[in-house]
Structure 1
Amino acid sequence: MVLQDRAKATREAIVAGAAVVFEEHGYGNASLTQVSEAARVTKGALYFHFQSKEDLAKAVIEEQHRIVMAHSEAILGGNQPGLTTMILMCRAFGLQLIHEPVVKAGIRLTFEAATFGQPVRGPYEDWIAAMERLTTQGKNERQIRSSIDPAALARYIVASFTGVQMVSDVLTGRTDVMQRIEEMWALLLPGLMHEDFHEEPSALSRLISTGESRLKRAALL
């Protein structure tokens, strides 16, 4: 058991070190020597767990997806309305892109996946499926217009978020990513909110900056 725990800790350290290296240098310029130094493990320990740089990149992407999905599941368990949950999920993902090295590296690697022959569909498909379910929920709750196609809106939101965070990364290193995500929702909401849903679009989009604190204050009123 001690050996298993040690092996698990070593593997986690290698993935964390790889995330730092991949996020800074990209897949093409990263080396396994840099990874072993960042993880503070020997080359032998690294090769025991990962046979190649490609295997390591895949592991970082898988860990990034696990982290994002774990946060998403926590938000989904909060019993918020569908549209509200969609916004909070985008907020959580944006914060992870600022604060979580593995998430930042995993997202960079998804854009570079063709370099190491690893098409990355799963994370996008999972996110689109979640947004489609939440859109249907939002329609049933009369937050979202009945005319909205859930599948089309889900694809559009995921594509919009992906583009917004990527442009933010290029222009500012994501220092303004939360503001840009909030702007995205401010533009989308007037066109998709149900006519019987009387929340102000600007108030909903501000969930990106205020988060659950606003919801808690509202629950006390």
Structure 2
Amino acid sequence: MVRQARAVATRQQIITGAARMFEQSGFEGASLGDIVDGAGTTKGALYFHFRSKDELARVVIEEHHRTSIDTVDAIANTGAGSLRQLVMLCHEMARQIVHDPIVRAGTRLTLEFSGTADAPAQPYIDWIASAQKLIESGIARGEIRGTVDPPTLARFMIGSFTGVQLVSQVLARRRDIEQRVDEMWGYLLPSIATTQDAAELAEVRVARWTPPAEAVTATADPSVDV
């Protein structure tokens, strides 16, 4: 049992170390030697758990994807309205991309692999599907205008968030990402919400989800200065 727990811990240590290298240098720039050094382990331990750098990169993307889907489910469990859930989801994704090295690496790798034949499209497919489900629920509950086309809005919302975080990274190393996501919703909410009451829309814009303290501690990256 102790050996199994140690193996699980070592595997996660390698994934986290690899994530930091991929986020810093990209897939091509991160050598296996860099990953081993960054993880503080051995090449033998790495090959015990992963057959190649390609497999390791795919696992990082999968872990990022799993984190995102878990976040969707956790926010759904709050019982908040659909518009608030959409806002909370974007802001939580922004928080994770700043503080979680696996999320940052998964984001970079997904974009890097987007031009390949086996591009990892599933994360975006699932994010869009989750947003579409919330939008359809919002229309049914009278929060979102019935003239809105859910698939189109879902794709636009995820695309907008992707662009906002990317530009924030280029111009400000994501230090202003919360402000930029808030600005995105400042333009988007009045065009899709049934209410036009400024106070009510402002209340929706400040909706946030607070993850459990242990989850924040587990994913916090002390190397990030924000």
List aligned pairs for 1:17-166, cutoff 5 A.
Answer: 17-114=17-114, 118-166=118-166
For residues 169 and 196 of structure 1, the distance between their equivalents in structure 2, rounded to whole angstroms, comes to 32
For residues 16 and 204 of structure 1, the distance between their equivalents in structure 2, rounded to whole angstroms, comes to 35
Aligned with 1:200: secondary structure? helix
Please report how far the alpha carbon of residue 27 of structure 1 lies from its aligned counterpart in structure 2 after TM superposition: 0.9
Superposition RMSD on alpha carbons, in Å?
Answer: 1.8
One-letter identity of the residue aligned with 2:111: F
For residues 173 and 13 of structure 1, the distance between their equivalents in structure 2, rounded to whole angstroms, comes to 25
For residues 10 and 180 of structure 2, the distance between their equivalents in structure 1, rounded to whole angstroms, comes to 37
Identity of aligned residues (%): 42
- Alpha-carbon contact 1:91-1:178 (below 8 Å) kept: yes
For residues 30 and 116 of structure 2, the distance between their equivalents in structure 1, rounded to whole angstroms, comes to 12
- Alpha-carbon contact 2:83-2:204 (below 8 Å) kept: no
For residues 115 and 143 of structure 1, the distance between their equivalents in structure 2, rounded to whole angstroms, comes to 37
Please report how far the alpha carbon of residue 206 of structure 1 lies from its aligned counterpart in structure 2 after TM superposition: 2.9
Distance 1:114 1:88, change over 3 A: closer
CA displacement 1:62-91 (0-9 Å, x = unmatched) = 111112222221111111111111110111
For residues 99 and 48 of structure 1, the distance between their equivalents in structure 2, rounded to whole angstroms, comes to 29
Please report how far the alpha carbon of residue 202 of structure 1 lies from its aligned counterpart in structure 2 after TM superposition: 3.2
One-letter identity of the residue aligned with 2:149: D
CA displacement 1:116-148 (0-9 Å, x = unmatched) = 764111111111111111001111111100111
One-letter identity of the residue aligned with 1:71: T
For residues 183 and 196 of structure 1, the distance between their equivalents in structure 2, rounded to whole angstroms, comes to 17
For residues 44 and 75 of structure 2, the distance between their equivalents in structure 1, rounded to whole angstroms, comes to 40
For residues 148 and 116 of structure 1, the distance between their equivalents in structure 2, rounded to whole angstroms, comes to 33
Aligned to 2:180: 180
- Alpha-carbon contact 1:28-1:115 (below 8 Å) kept: no
For residues 78 and 96 of structure 1, the distance between their equivalents in structure 2, rounded to whole angstroms, comes to 19
Please report how far the alpha carbon of residue 114 of structure 1 lies from its aligned counterpart in structure 2 after TM superposition: 4.7
**Worse-superposed segment, 76-85 or 197-206:** 197-206
Distance 1:90 1:181, change over 3 A: same
Distance 1:100 1:9, change over 3 A: same
For residues 103 and 11 of structure 2, the distance between their equivalents in structure 1, rounded to whole angstroms, comes to 17
Aligned to 2:203: 203
- Alpha-carbon contact 1:17-1:38 (below 8 Å) kept: yes
One-letter identity of the residue aligned with 2:109: L
**Worse-superposed segment, 118-127 or 181-190:** 118-127
For residues 198 and 164 of structure 1, the distance between their equivalents in structure 2, rounded to whole angstroms, comes to 24
Distance 1:7 1:81, change over 3 A: same
When the two structures are superposed, what TM-score results if normalisation uses the length of structure 2?
Answer: 0.87
Aligned to 2:16: 16
Gaps in structure 2 of 5+ consecutive residues: 211-226
Please report how far the alpha carbon of residue 113 of structure 1 lies from its aligned counterpart in structure 2 after TM superposition: 1.2
